Amino acid sequence: MKREGCWIQQVALQLHRGSRAELRTERERILAIRKDKHPDWRAEPCIGSFFRNIEPSSAAERRQAAGWFLEQAGAKDLKQGGAALFRKHANIPVKAHAECRSADVAELARRMQQVVRERFGFELHREVRYLGAMPGEEAHLGFY
């Protein structure tokens, strides 16, 4: 829907009652996993996941995390200017130095794509949408 410029104006949800204790336990489990795998943005500013997960090649398979392919291709140690990749997740660029620029992140992303293309033979696609012009990238007027 993003690509077509569509917006959802109304949605109907059907919710089922659940145990507060079960919901609290599940929430705590999910938050613990995220805390372990994702940076604390207050201490280590980041963009979040940069590339979309890879769709399965058959109905029997599940989506593969882009971070797995990046890690297997050796991208975790990539750095560009003030941008680097989070030490625990190869698909999360972080601000490694105060002088980090958006152009550093854009170039780091191109290098991330390149190592996966060379190792696995396919192209990663961004989840992130650029606002404005980036060196070597198409300019967008806004998020869509």
Question: Average pLDDT, stretch 107-116?
Answer: 96
Question: Average pLDDT, stretch 9-32?
Answer: 90
Enumerate residues 6+ apart whose C-beta is below 8 A from 118. 73
Task: Identify the pLDDT of residue 143.
Answer: 41
Task: Identify the pLDDT of residue 141.
Answer: 44
Question: Average pLDDT, stretch 1-13?
Answer: 78
**Domain span at 62:** 41-120
In a domain, 85, yes or no: yes
Instruction: Assign residue 49 the CATH number of its domain.
Output: 3.90.78.10
Phi, psi (5° rounding) for residue 64?
A: -105, 135
In a domain, 108, yes or no: yes
Task: Identify the pLDDT of residue 73.
Answer: 96
- pLDDT tens for 31-67 read 998 888 888 888 888 888 999 999 887 565 788 999 9
Question: Average pLDDT, stretch 75-92?
Answer: 94
In a domain, 7, yes or no: no
For 79, the token pair is 């750095």
Q: How far is the C-alpha of 61 from the C-alpha of 52, rounded, in Å?
A: 17
Q: How many structural domains are present in the chain? A: 1
Q: How many CB atoms lie within 10 A of CB 101?
A: 14
| Mean pLDDT for the chain overall | 86
41-45, 130-134, 135-139: range with lowest mean pLDDT: 135-139
In a domain, 2, yes or no: no
In a domain, 96, yes or no: yes
What pTM did the predictor assign? 0.74
Task: Identify the pLDDT of residue 69.
Answer: 95
